[in-house]
Each structure stands twice: as structure tokens, then as C-alpha cells.
Structure 1
Amino acid sequence: MADIKTITQKDYEFLIELEELIYDRKDEMPDGSYTTSMFKKGIDKIAQKVGEEAVETVIASKNSKNKETVNEAADLIFHLMLLLAEKEIPLHKVIKKLRKRHNKGTHKHIGE
């Protein structure tokens, strides 16, 4: 098994802060914000961006340098959070679903 650093409370808090910021941007729509520009483009563009970032993550994962994979994965997670916010689906609902699947032993969250 790889040497994996466990996610910290600070990491969880950052995800909460990021989700709150995304929802604030959606409500306030400040000029000059990338997030605002994506919300203005709508669900189709946001979904397209999630797809693009997913493909870029897959391609990056085939390279030997993990830095590129980390960068693309960060882009993917951010854009997925945008998509969820656009649809008014809080991240905790996705996490709850993952936990429920894991507790039932179906493990659909790992590709089965």
C-alpha cells in the first residue's frame, strides 16, 4: 500500500469553506469571478467542464508525474462541486450516499 497521509480536520474544513464560497458566488454573482462566469454559462457548460476535467485527469494519470494528476484531480473536484451547487445538491448528500453504500457492503463507490 502506498504511503498515504490521512486527510485532516483542516482538509475537511477547507472543503466546507470551498463549498460555502461556491454557494456565495452563486448567490452574489460578483463580477470577475471564474465561478460566477461558470454559473452564468449554465448547467450544460458546467457539465461539459466536469467531463473535460475527468478526461484530463485520466490522461494525466497515465503519465509518470503525479503532480499533473493532482492538478487535474483538483480541477475535477472543483468543477464537480460547481455542478452540485448549480443543481442545489450539497456535498454532504454525496458523502452520505458513499457512506451508505459502504456500510451496506455494495461498494458501488469503488467502481463495482
Structure 2
Amino acid sequence: MADIKTLTQKDYDFLIELETLLYERKEEMPKGSYTTSMYKKGLDKIAQKVGEEAVETVIASKNEKNKETINEAADLIFHLMLLLAEKEIPLHKVIKKLRKRHNKGNHKHIGE
């Protein structure tokens, strides 16, 4: 098994900060912000970007070095969080669904 470092409170706090920032950007729409430009393009473009990043993550995972996979996975998570914010689906609802599946012994989230 890989040497897995457990997520820290600082990691969780960052996800909360990022989600908060995404909602703030959606409301304020500051000029020059990448997030603003994506919101202006709309849901279809945001969803397309999530798909692109997912494919890039899969392709990167086929390489021996993990650096590219980590970079693409970060892009994927960011754009997925952007998509959720666009649809006003809080990340905690997704996490709650994962926990509910896990607690029931229904591990659909694993290998689905």
C-alpha cells in the first residue's frame, strides 16, 4: 500500500476557503478573474471543462511519474467545485452522499 498521509484540518479548511471563494466570485464577478470568466461562459462550458480535466487526469495517470497526475487531479477538483458552485450544490452535500453510501456498506463510490 502507498504511503498515505492523512488529510489535515488545514487541508479541510482550504477546501472550505476555496468553496467560499468560488461563491464570492460568482456573486461579485471581479474583472480579470479566471473564475469570473468561467461563470460568464455558463454551465455548458464549465461542464465541458470538467470533462476535459477528467480526460487529462486519466491520460496523465498512465504516465510513470505522479506529478502530472497530481496537477491534472487538482485542475479536475477545482473545476468540479466550480461546477457545483455554479449549480449551487454545496460540497458538503456531495460528501454527505459519499458518507451515507459508505455507512450503509454500499460502496458505490468505490469503483463505480
TM-score grouping bracket, smaller chain normalisation: over 0.9
TM normalised by structure 2 equals 0.99
Identity %: 89
Higher share of residues assigned helix: 1
Structure 2 unaligned blocks of 5 or more: none
Structure 1 unaligned blocks of 5 or more: none
User: Once the two structures are superposed, what CA deviation does each residue of 1:28-86 show, in whole Å capped at 9, x if it has no partner?
Assistant: 00000000000000000000000000000000000011000000000000000000000
Counterpart of 2:111 in structure 1 is: 111
1-structure distance, mates of 2:25, 2:57: 26
**Structure 1 runs of 4+ with >3 Å offset:** none
Q: For 1:84-103, list aligned pairs within 5 A.
A: 84-103=84-103
Aligned length: 112
Counterpart of 2:48 in structure 1 is: 48
TM normalised by structure 1 equals 0.99
1-structure distance, mates of 2:19, 2:35: 11
Q: Compute the RMSD of aligned alpha carbons.
A: 0.5
